[in-house]
Structure 1
Amino acid sequence: MAFGTIYAYQNNPRARVAQTVANYEGLELEWVETNPFAPNKSGFPEGYLQKYPLGLVPAFEKDGLELTESIAIANVAGYNNKAGLLGANKEDAARIQQWTLWANINLLPSLGAWFAPLLGRKPYTKAGAEQAKTALYKETDYLENYLKTRTYLVGDRISVADIFVASALTRGFEFVLDAEFREKNVNLTRFWKTIVHQPEFFKVLNNVEPVAVEKVIDPVQPKKEEKKPKSAPAPKPKAAKDEEEEPVEAAPKAKHPCEALGPAKSFPLDEFKRQYSNNETDVALKWLDANFDPQEYSLWKAEYKYPDELTQVFMSSNLITGFHSRLEGSRKYVFGSTGVYGENNNSKIVGVYMIRGSGCLRRRPDYESYSFTPLDFKAPADREFVEGCWAWTNEVDGLKYADGKVMK
């Protein structure tokens, strides 16, 4: 029987804390997918905004108790304190509260101010990015110095404080705390790795190794268009040869996050796309068997999180088209096929993507509407699933392939 119900989306760092605490306490939480970033508030369960008008996520319910703040939710989950996460005495409890408040009020907002524009959630400006970095480095410098002589934040064992701080840092390591940062902040990095690899925490990450970005590539701020003058200016006199102006260099194009990885060394994705386009899928997969390099590319199952909202098959297929359109800048790093399985008013969207690097999908506005599960191409069951998705022969929960789109 579930201890209580938590409303959140899977990558929510604050909800991750409550789930980890529950794991330590041996409690089961019922998880209801709730995504405030879904379009037109479609990610909220029915009645959610009536109970929680501010739309705060996560939320928690138990026996008539309704909470929205993650610190309060974590304290309820750890109330019995069997694992000692809330401290051994009042002094430790106060220190733990200090760190949880710092993580929520200082650290996480500073991280979010930097990586939110990279996800398309806020407009990007160079000045805003520099301001976010400055604010963040002030917080991380404080944490780096504090951890020089400590393994944990409070006492000599893990506490809720460690879980809150490590959870906030996980999103940072995914998007902005790159290799250069990690080299300069060895104590902070060591602390993060220690906490996220605790079994109770690692389970919340679905036992998938957390991502650490190698290099941050900020978007290029678009230049404002100059207003055309009402009347054409007088023609400029032609300069003499020795007075001619040097040609003006064109503004640099925005860099793609995967460009930092450099050219692929062993696996030619374009060749596989030709194999897929010109041959039967089983022939293309045999070529992939012989050439796939898991060090450069990874395979992911993608599933739309809100099948209850899907109605007409053609409309669901259009959702896939929109997702692929917004992936256009990543085309040379991605291959995939996603299908609509089922019929009108009873369908699911499921597909498989082969991608290079970690930024191709995560930086797209649609990313939060899909769940992504890593696949092992050498595992027979995963290999069969990949071929079925790409050959359009799979069935998903008894639903047959109806329509779909290929990204190549």
Structure 2
Amino acid sequence: MALVLYTGPGNTNAFKALITAEYSGVKLELAKDFQLRVSNNTPEFLKMSPLGRVPVLETPDGAIFESNAIARYVAKLKADNPLYGSSLIEYARIEQWMDFATTEIYAGLVRWRSAIRRFGDICYDPTIVEFAINIFKGSLDALNAHLANNTYLVGHSVTLADIVMTCNLCWGYSCIMTKAFTSEFPHVERYFWTMVNQPNVKKVIGKVKQTKALPAVQSLRKAPAKEQAKPKEVKPKEVKKEAPPKAAEVEEEEAPKPKPKNPLDLLSPSKMILDEWKRLYSNTKTNFREVAIKGFWDMYDPEGYSLWFCEYKYNEENTVSFVTMNKVGGFLQRMDLARKYAFGKMLVIGQNPPFKVKGLWLFRGQEIPQFIIDECYDMELYEWTKVDISDEVQKEHVNAMIEDQEPFEGEPLLDAKCFK
């Protein structure tokens, strides 16, 4: 018997099991023809989940309800699953953070969401909302402090704790946690966007869009129906039949709207072919200065492209080497949407902490493309300065960054990453 998961569409609790299955190589099937609030109210379903809640996993040995329990079961189907750590203490800490994700993060979100609604005759009370937000901020402060020195919740790779935490945060980011709110917790920000862009996670949840505004205050009590006078009987007017639309008109109405072009595709053609530069960079193994660097400047089109230096604004926080390198790696992952229009080099500089993060980026056009600024939150974590190529000092700085010159600015390179 196959493992069958009963859930409605977009259920972040069901995502826990589906993501765990992706990491574990376990096949889950979604129940066919499942209708939320209909299928889960049937006697058959209530035998599997007494409260009629989803998700529910049907297994050869019986059904399991509660999302964390389902995720644990799926993870245990793979022997020695790294999602459960490599030691007893890691196992305990994974369970610890799973509980924290449920009792602090998810519960805090539910408390906050409930506070901005009105139940029955209970009026909306701003002090209750403020109380709920302050409690939730306390939980996020604790999580933010832990993530200041850790890329993941436990160990150096994704575990079941990260999957549960990410799914719970995903609900919050989508419905109630605005950018103005989450910017107070930069390490949680970095962690969340790193996690949702992991291939196994993104395959399940797709692209996450952060809410731009808090939901409106609403009442859950139906307004009493007003007694209305019996309407006078009105004879229906004779409706004049219209001729059916011609086939051509129907086709025109049903034709899908063309996808809007990226503004960068509408720029005047450039003599610089970005893919040619990327190939030259990748294929040059010797005499890099004479071949690749010279080739870059021969190709470079200052009218069609622009060069930018960037420097991380919070280098004093970069006290752990692997966390700093993972931070840069996550940034490059999220820049994938710009691959057609950009080339970049990111350097982690220094032998001892705090490490400095600096970069060089080549963008199509004369400004940093707006769609990148809008979609990649990391952009605002860096100070951006346009390169003046008439300045020989700046031009040499560009050469050194493309080449991964070491020492760089008098210091060794801890890491160098390329976006191409």
TM-score by length of 2: 0.49
Alignment-derived partner of residue 98 in structure 2 = 100
Residue 66 of structure 1 aligns with an amino acid whose one-letter code is: A
Matching of residues 213-362 of structure 1 within 5 Å: 213-219=211-217, 280-283=249-252, 289=258
1:58 aligns with 2:46: no
- Deviation of residue 75 (structure 1)? 1.8
- Deviation of residue 93 (structure 1)? 0.3
Q: May I ask how many residue pairs the two structures share in their alignment?
A: 235
Alignment-derived partner of residue 189 in structure 1 = 189
**Per-residue deviation, residues 53-78 of structure 1 (Å, max 9, x unmatched):** 22232222222233223232222211
> Which structure's CA Rg is the greater one?
2
Counterpart among 59, 65, 80 of residue 68 in structure 1: 65
Q: Is the 8 A contact 1:7 1:57 kept in 2?
A: yes
Residue 60 of structure 2 aligns with an amino acid whose one-letter code is: D
CA distance in 2, matches of 1:280, 1:156: 59
Alignment-derived partner of residue 165 in structure 2 = 165
Alignment-derived partner of residue 149 in structure 2 = 149
Q: Is the 8 A contact 1:34 1:43 kept in 2?
A: no
Q: Is the 8 A contact 2:115 2:132 kept in 1?
A: no
1:84 aligns with 2:85: no
Alignment-derived partner of residue 212 in structure 1 = 210
Alignment-derived partner of residue 110 in structure 1 = 108
Residue 159 of structure 1 aligns with an amino acid whose one-letter code is: T
DSSP 3-state at the match of 2:97: helix
Q: Is the 8 A contact 1:36 1:55 kept in 2?
A: no
Deviates more, 1:84-93 or 1:59-68: 59-68
Q: Is the 8 A contact 1:9 1:33 kept in 2?
A: no
Q: Which segments of 5 or more consecutive residues in structure 2 lack a partner in the other structure? A: 224-244, 264-420
Q: Is the 8 A contact 1:15 1:58 kept in 2?
A: yes
Residue 145 of structure 2 aligns with an amino acid whose one-letter code is: N
- Deviation of residue 7 (structure 1)? 2.0
- Deviation of residue 31 (structure 1)? 1.7
Distance 1:153 1:42, change over 3 A: same
- Deviation of residue 204 (structure 1)? 1.0
DSSP 3-state at the match of 2:165: helix
Alignment-derived partner of residue 298 in structure 2 = none
- Deviation of residue 37 (structure 1)? 6.2
Alignment-derived partner of residue 200 in structure 1 = 200
Counterpart among 44, 48, 52 of residue 47 in structure 1: 44
Residue 15 of structure 1 aligns with an amino acid whose one-letter code is: A
CA distance in 1, matches of 2:74, 2:95: 15
- Deviation of residue 288 (structure 1)? 5.2
Distance 1:42 1:29, change over 3 A: closer
Q: Is the 8 A contact 1:117 1:124 kept in 2?
A: no
CA distance in 1, matches of 2:29, 2:252: 44
DSSP 3-state at the match of 1:184: coil
DSSP 3-state at the match of 2:15: helix
- Deviation of residue 107 (structure 1)? 1.1
1:27 aligns with 2:46: no
**Per-residue deviation, residues 188-211 of structure 1 (Å, max 9, x unmatched):** 011011111111111111xx3111
Distance 1:121 1:18, change over 3 A: farther
DSSP 3-state at the match of 1:6: strand
DSSP 3-state at the match of 1:154: coil
TM-score by length of 1: 0.50
CA distance in 1, matches of 2:194, 2:41: 34
Residue 135 of structure 2 aligns with an amino acid whose one-letter code is: A
Residue 215 of structure 1 aligns with an amino acid whose one-letter code is: A
- Deviation of residue 153 (structure 1)? 0.3
Residue 7 of structure 2 aligns with an amino acid whose one-letter code is: A
CA distance in 2, matches of 1:51, 1:136: 33
**Per-residue deviation, residues 317-336 of structure 1 (Å, max 9, x unmatched):** xxxxxxxxxxxxxxxxxxxx
CA distance in 1, matches of 2:29, 2:42: 14
Q: Which segments of 5 or more consecutive residues in structure 1 lack a partner in the other structure? A: 226-275, 296-408
DSSP 3-state at the match of 1:18: helix
Residue 48 of structure 2 aligns with an amino acid whose one-letter code is: K
DSSP 3-state at the match of 1:24: helix
Deviates more, 1:196-205 or 1:46-55: 46-55
Residue 143 of structure 1 aligns with an amino acid whose one-letter code is: L
Distance 1:12 1:35, change over 3 A: farther
- Deviation of residue 169 (structure 1)? 0.4
